[in-house]
Chains A and B, each alone.
Chain A
């Protein structure tokens, strides 16, 4: 109970910090604290595999992605700062919407019937670490690759589509014309440089390809 209270307070505090931070970098730090606390909460819920996945995927991959994008964008002309948020003129509808959401979730949560301290839950207590216990990696893996194999494969497909989409959206080449976007945008500078560089560079590329 004490662990849950500490983790809950930390998670809410870091989430509030994430939302209210002035700069995105501080926000990322708050989000990192939130993810780590959430992973610890998963451990208290006997979801060991999900705790590890949470650390690896969220703290390891997604946050690094955020940090990269922030670093990439803040090297531009204008400092990548936040400025004022939308709060002054949208505060009332936002508060109403958020309160309605909160109340709806809370009411639904309270009304949902639960097997209060059933035999299953009692049997689950303290079995963390056993090979075939609830929430262990082997339990998770058996469920994932037998009963839920199709969702797993669909997820793989979604990831592939996401990778291709990211390459198409953010890649250097325009997907339709095949023209390099970078060259197209800085056309003036490119035309100045071209006579000296284009002649020597393109044959060597062709040679290397052949």
Chain B
């Protein structure tokens, strides 16, 4: 009856894959940030699935810390996006090349 952890991890890897495609293929910085959130969530799902499989809640702790750090990352990323947009009016990350990256 219970689903095997491998199924959860397969789902997690599919989400991670979709998020990687989003980060690589989209140019809108906001959608890239959302794809990064997808990556965090995929990692969290794998952590929680393995925690359930092993009966050890260290995975829960780690997922909790990941959520916190993701919140911090989203705040800083969105602040950078807002400042960059205010300054340059670009919505394409390829056009923001002041640092010659």
Q: Which residue of A lies closest to B68 (CB)?
A: A155
Q: Which 4 A-B pairs have the closest CB atoms?
A: A162-B72, A120-B55, A19-B22, A105-B13
A109 with B25, Cβ < 8 A, contacts A15-B19, A66-B34, A76-B85 known: no
Give the distance in Å from the alpha carbon of A110 to the alpha carbon of B9 in the complex: 9
Chain A residues in contact with chain B, CB under 8 A? 1, 4, 8, 11-12, 15-16, 18-19, 21, 24, 27-28, 31, 34-35, 38, 41-42, 44-47, 49-50, 53-54, 57-58, 61-62, 65-66, 69-70, 72-73, 76-78, 80-87, 90-91, 93-94, 97-98, 101-102, 105-106, 109-110, 112, 114-116, 118, 120-121, 123-125, 134-135, 139-140, 143-144, 148, 151-152, 155, 158-159, 161-163, 165-166, 169-170
Chain B, interface SS category: helix
Q: Kindly provide the distance from the CB of B85 to the nearest chain A CB, expressed in whole angstroms.
A: 5
Q: Kindly provide the distance from the CB of B66 to the nearest chain A CB, expressed in whole angstroms.
A: 10
Band of interface residues on B: 35 or more
Interface contacts beyond A82-B31, A143-B61, A155-B68: sample of 13 additional A-B pairs, CB < 8 Å, sorted by A:
A19-B19, A47-B51, A50-B44, A57-B71, A61-B71, A83-B92, A85-B26, A86-B94, A97-B24, A114-B6, A161-B72, A165-B76, A169-B83
B67 engages A143 (CB within 8 Å):
no
B55 touches which of A42, A110, A134, A143 (Cβ 8 Å): A134
